[in-house]
Copies of this chain bind each other. A is one copy, B any other.
Amino acid sequence: MKAIAVERGGDGPAVVDVERPTPGPEEALVRTLRVGVDGTDGEVIAGHHGGFPPDSDRLILGHEAVGVVEQAGDTHFSPGDVVAPTVRRPPGESNEYFERGEPDMAPSGAYYERGIEGADGYMAEYFTSPGEYLVSVPPSLAGLGFLVEPLSIADKALELAYASRSSFEWDPESAVVLGNGSLGLLTLAYLRERHEYDRLYCLGRRDRPDPTIDIIEELGATYIDSRETPVAEIPAAYESMDLVFEATGSAKHALDTVAALAPNGVGALLGVPEPWEFEVDGGSLHRDLVLHNKALVGSVNSNVRHFEAAADALGAFPEWLFDELVTGVYDVSQFEAAFDDDDTTIKTAVQFSAYEER
């Protein structure tokens, strides 16, 4: 079968021919429909993040997948079910994090990540997975189920953020998403759908006309241009924020988040920057965190519970959002277009097969 993979010392992703995987007894064989592309794929391709499977010089890419169960094996699925697979897998032996359904909280070394670190991903015509790592997706979302994984990342981060405010009464009214990439926009739509925020904002660095600014405004949010309003100045220019959701990878934005927060506010951090030394007013940052009961929570990955919440939420998103957000779905033969990134690209996917309702 065809797969999209990187090889050690290679020139970037290429279509390769690999053997179709054989499911174990407790695994399903899944026919891949579509696999989304995100920034992590770019980092894996560039060699900045992740790594090859043990004893292999090749990694099949892709961690945002939706597929159709072809053989259910001993799983609780049936052939024809539409599913999205989670990303983390035990590194050989299982461990307590997987056993309690929280692989997203496993420390480095206690997991592989399919398509990223130590295990092949989903950019192939078929993949296998234990049933416990597959989440049902409504058939109506078969074409969009590759958005379940990124939205689950937002759900997990919001869960941590809300938990951090759970020891007191917290009634957030304002939120800003830092970053107008696909994760930022999906999160903005999710926050809008949850109806908890009176006022939503999204920060980017784009000139109008711009398709992401259009989406921000169609979601009823306010676009903040970071070139005019740095993160720390958001309270002066707009208002202080009960929630800041950082999806930029900018460490300055992450540290300036504290200044952007309202008293008792929380910043959820999701970006994964490289080392970067710079000057900060650490005293004021520290003082502000303490005197105003503020919090910063870092968040990575997600588990089945977050996938389920994401699949559920996705069904409530308006159709126009998908039309504008998904700017390209490419056949395997044209996969390189899915990895291109310019100002008209928001979210892309590679299509391995078409969904046909049974």
Contact = CB atoms under 8 A, between A and B. Distances in A.
Contact of A282 (B251, B264, B297, B298): B251
Interface in A74-116: 100, 102, 104-105, 107-108
A263 to B, nearest CB: 4
A271 B286 contact: yes
Contacts of A264: 105, 107
B272 A291 contact: yes
Contact of A159 (B167, B263, B273, B278): B167
Contact of A273 (B102, B273, B286): B286
Contacts of A272: 287, 290-291
Nearest to A283: B276
A95 to B, nearest CB: 13
A172 to B, nearest CB: 13
Contact of A277 (B275, B280, B299, B300): B280
A34 interface: no
A282 B252 contact: yes
A278 to B, nearest CB: 6
Contacts of A291: 108, 272, 298, 300
A262 B165 CA distance: 21
A292 to B, nearest CB: 7
A160 B293 contact: yes
A293 to B, nearest CB: 6
A281 B290 contact: no
Contacts of A296: 289, 295-296
List 9 tightest A-B contacts by C-beta distance, closest first: A289-B298, A276-B283, A251-B282, A164-B164, A107-B263, A163-B167, A290-B298, A251-B286, A254-B286
